[in-house]
Amino acid sequence: MNRIFFSLVLFVVVIFQAAAQPEQVLLQVADHKISKDEFEHIYRKNNSNLYSDADRKSPKEYLELFINFKLKVAEAESLKMDTSAAFINELAGYRKEIAAPYLTDIEFNENQVKELYRRMKLEVDASHILLRVDENASAKQEQQVLDKITDIRNEIIAGKPFDEAAVEYSEDPSAQSNKGHLGYFSAFTMVAPFEDAAFNTPVDAISEPVRTNFGYHLIQVHDTRPNKGEIQVAHIMKNVAKTASPEEKAQAKAAIDSIYQLLLDGADFAEMAKNESQDRRSAVRGGEMPWFAAGRIVQEFSDPAFALKNDGDISKPVETPFGYHIIKRLHARQVPPFEEARASIESQIKKDATRLASGKKVFIEKLKKEYGFSENASAKQQLADFNISDTPELPEMTLFSLNNKDFGSKVLQKYTRDKKIQNESYLSVYDNWVADEITKLEDSKLEEKYPEFRYLMNEYHDGILLFNISQEKIWNFAAQDTAGLERFYEKDKDKHMWGDRFKGHIITCKNVSVREEAENLFGAGMNADEVLTHINGNDKDLISIETGAWEEAQNPIVDYYVWNGKDPEDFDSATTFVRGDKIEPQPKTLDEARGLFISDYQDYLEQEWIKDLRRKYKVKVNKKLLKTIEGV
């Protein structure tokens, strides 16, 4: 959940430590001083790659968001949230992840960059079979899995269809539904060994077994095609749950069809998305979604999206595993020219340790020079005479020096105990020990050596605190404060209103004579339950009655009778009718709009909290210095 939260709130949460050299202080919040350079870096980073230009802030506007964020972090620190074991462990976990690319040799050559660009211009359509290998598998277990997947490959070569083999053997859970088919993907979509094999296997061929950190794979390549680039669309969605009944699915289909007709008649797409789409995250932006490539989203959505030829074109309703959608093309862009793509390719190589061209040895040798490594060759040679199991205590001797610190036999012995190494000579583990000590030293200096690493660590530090204190002070509190929510609702119940609605019944009869009987019973004063019981009795299924209140475009049958809508699909007006009345707009009850009112209550609580924090903590802004920062 924290990861999802970070992706949503880092628009305002990136914090950098002030650099060591003297800098102009732009802002002070509590005891934290933020320089102009620091704020400007944060401002520019968080006002790029936005959903839309409308979200871009001026430096003055962004400063207010930044101050609010810093106030919350200051409050979290005053409550000692940064000293809890959970916080410390979580931050340590993030540090381990982001440190990994810095603890290996980051080298790449021109040929590698050009090869990855070649792949970026293509998309491969492939299927795979996966046999998992446990992270701690022995060499024997590893060989057993390799032998098994080799046998599967031989079966396929002999004529067994790949998709049947995927269903029978693959340990990828999705294989039971997709038969191993992954669809089209381009560079940087899959882990590097898998990508290498996919792009180097001919169409219709079966790869040799491929080892990744998931296990062993077989890959069958079906097709390659030019990369379609990326597209940005807006959509209107009617959700259909996996467990939806045929009736619920039909209602969603009818609703999306009704919306599509309104769009054809001239309705504004963005307004319809805001009011009707059940993808609420995109709905508030008029349905606008982030840019995506064809292989980064389900094929049922990407194919009709990329089939739209021009900006502004709208698709017919399409079905995906998530429901029904109407898609509007906003913009499209092709793969950029090589020189424009170079920096991005190099950056992605650096982030992916499996793509790095140089191994650990090169990395260690480079650091040896940097940290003045020297070793005692004669003492090192003596290690060959001592077996770990037979010699629990080595003679006292210095084995190597690193960064002006000596490392001796006692440290080596501790290393072997910690690693639970036995039945080997001390010399056989010496090089690994040296590499581990050098890596630990480098790890301890990452914040000092790499400003971007320090910045990212501070981002996670403050992001975790923001999440934790917001959860305690706002999110959980708003959901649990029943009395406060009810008072808030009573003060502002008119905020979320129903539009004009038809309130009553939709009656579906088996034939015309049943309809006539039903209308007579309603005319005699019976209510819906009485009519249903009278006609159906205990066993018959002659009539069904749906009771509710519907706005326009929510039900095609109600639209037909009440708002002069088009004929619903598979509809017979002779056997289906409605009874009830149109009702004027009225406030939604708290139960009907609980999610919306909880969200509003959270906003209210946050605004009141910010007021309290601004009274509690000192905030000082150098307004003259702020004016020197240019907007983006």
**229-278 tens-digit pLDDT:** 999 999 999 999 888 899 999 999 999 999 999 999 999 999 999 999 99
Segments making up each domain of the chain, as ranges = 1-78+481-496+590-632, 83-105+358-465, 122-226, 236-333, 498-583
Q: What is the mean pLDDT of residues 604-628?
A: 94
Specify whether the CB–CB gap between 236 and 277 falls below 8 A.
Answer: yes
- Show the tokens assigned to 71: 């106030």
- pLDDT above 90 coverage of the chain, percent: 69
Name residue, tokens 């090089």: 431
501-509 vs 543-551, strand pairing mode = antiparallel
Q: What is the mean pLDDT of residues 418-444?
A: 91
- Show the tokens assigned to 217: 């794979």
Under DSSP, the state recorded for 474 is: I
Q: Which helix (H) or strand (E) holds 316?
A: none
pTM higher than 0.75 for the full model?
no
292-293 vs 318-320, strand pairing mode = unpaired
111: confidence class by pLDDT, cuts 50, 70, 90:
confident
Domain 122-226 belongs in CATH node 3.40.50.2300: no
Q: Identify each DSSP E strand in 352-510 by its residue range.
A: 374-375, 398-402, 405-408, 501-509
- Rounded CA separation 384/33 (Å): 56
- Show the tokens assigned to 251: 């209602």
- Show the tokens assigned to 356: 């790095």
pLDDT of residue 17: 36
Pick 42 or 7 by higher pLDDT: 42
For the segment 373-400, what is each residue's pLDDT rounded down to a tens digit?
999 999 999 998 898 888 878 999 999 9
Angle between helices 409-418 and 426-444 (to 10 degrees): 90
pLDDT at 106 over 70: no
- Rounded CA separation 127/182 (Å): 5
Q: List C-alpha distances in Å: 13 to 270, 308, 471.
A: 29, 37, 15
Listed residue (121, 120, 141) closest to 131, CA to CA: 141
For the segment 157-176, what is each residue's pLDDT rounded down to a tens digit?
999 999 999 999 999 998 99
pLDDT at 360 over 70: no
Alpha-carbon torsion angle 493, 499, 502, 508, nearest 10 = -100
**236-333: CATH number:** 3.10.50.40
Name residue, tokens 């931050």: 91
Which of 1-10, 117-126, 574-583, 599-608 is least confident?
1-10
For the segment 46-71, what is each residue's pLDDT rounded down to a tens digit?
887 676 777 888 999 999 999 999 99
Pick 136 or 377 by higher pLDDT: 377
pLDDT of residue 21: 45
Query: Residues of 479-502 as b/e, b for ≥16 C-beta within 10 angstroms?
Result: eeeeeebeebbeeebeebebeebb
Q: What is the mean pLDDT of residues 322-326?
A: 96
The residues, ordered by sequence, that sit 6+ positions from 623 with a Cβ below 8 Å of its Cβ are none
pLDDT at 20 over 50: no
Name residue, tokens 């088996």: 510
pLDDT of residue 109: 62
Please check whether the two domains, 122-226 and 236-333, share a CATH topology.
yes
Specify whether the CB–CB gap between 530 and 547 falls below 8 A.
Answer: no
Specify whether the CB–CB gap between 225 and 119 falls below 8 A.
Answer: no
Give the dihedral sign, CA 615/621/623/624: positive
pLDDT at 572 over 50: yes
Specify whether the CB–CB gap between 412 and 397 falls below 8 A.
Answer: no
Q: Which helix (H) or strand (E) holds 329?
A: strand 323-333
pLDDT of residue 356: 59
Q: Highest-confidence range of 312-321, 458-467, 598-607, by mean pLDDT? A: 312-321
Assign 3-class secondary structure to 542-573.
CEEEEEEEEECCCCHHHHHHHCCCCCCCCCCC
pLDDT at 6 over 50: no
- φ/ψ of residue 185, rounded to 5: -150, 160
pLDDT at 2 over 60: no
Specify whether the CB–CB gap between 66 and 42 falls below 8 A.
Answer: yes
Name the 3-class secondary structure at 454: helix
Name residue, tokens 């990212």: 456
Q: What is the mean pLDDT of residues 175-192?
A: 91
